[in-house]
C-alpha cells in the first residue's frame, strides 16, 4: 500500500487552509491548492440539499471505504 507523509499544518499557505484538521486533508497539503478543492467538494456532497439524507450519504461512504479496503 502506498504511503503519503502528512504535511505539517504550519507549512500550509494561509489561503489554502480549511477549518478541518482531518488527516486526509493534511495529505492533500503535498499540493496545497487541492486542500480547498477537496474540502469544498466534500462539503457540497455531504451537506447540500439532495434526495439522500446525511445519514444515507455517510452509510454510502462507509460502504465504499469498506469495499476499497480503506483503513482510513
Task: Spell out the domain ranges in the chain.
Answer: 9-67
**What DSSP assignment string belongs to 17-54?**
--S---HHHHHHGGGTHHHHHHHHHHHHHHHS-SSS-H
Per-residue pLDDT at 24: 77
What is the model's pLDDT at position 1?
A: 56
pTM exceeds 0.75: no
How many C-beta atoms surround the C-beta of residue 35 within 10 A? 24
CA distance 59 to 62: 5
- Per-residue cell: 26: 493534511
Q: Quick: pLDDT tens for 3-24.
A: 778 888 888 888 888 888 777 7
Average pLDDT estimate for 32-52: 91
Confidence of residue 64 (pLDDT cuts 50, 70, 90): very high
2 band by pLDDT with thresholds 50, 70 and 90: low
Amino acid at each position: 500500500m502506498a504511503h503519503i507523509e502528512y504535511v505539517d499544518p504550519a507549512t500550509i499557505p494561509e489561503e489554502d487552509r480549511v477549518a478541518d484538521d482531518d488527516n486526509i486533508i493534511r495529505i492533500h497539503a503535498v499540493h496545497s491548492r487541492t486542500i480547498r478543492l477537496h474540502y469544498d467538494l466534500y462539503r457540497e456532497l455531504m451537506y447540500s440539499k439532495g434526495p439522500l439524507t446525511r445519514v444515507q450519504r455517510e452509510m454510502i461512504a462507509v460502504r465504499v471505504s469498506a469495499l476499497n479496503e480503506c483503513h482510513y
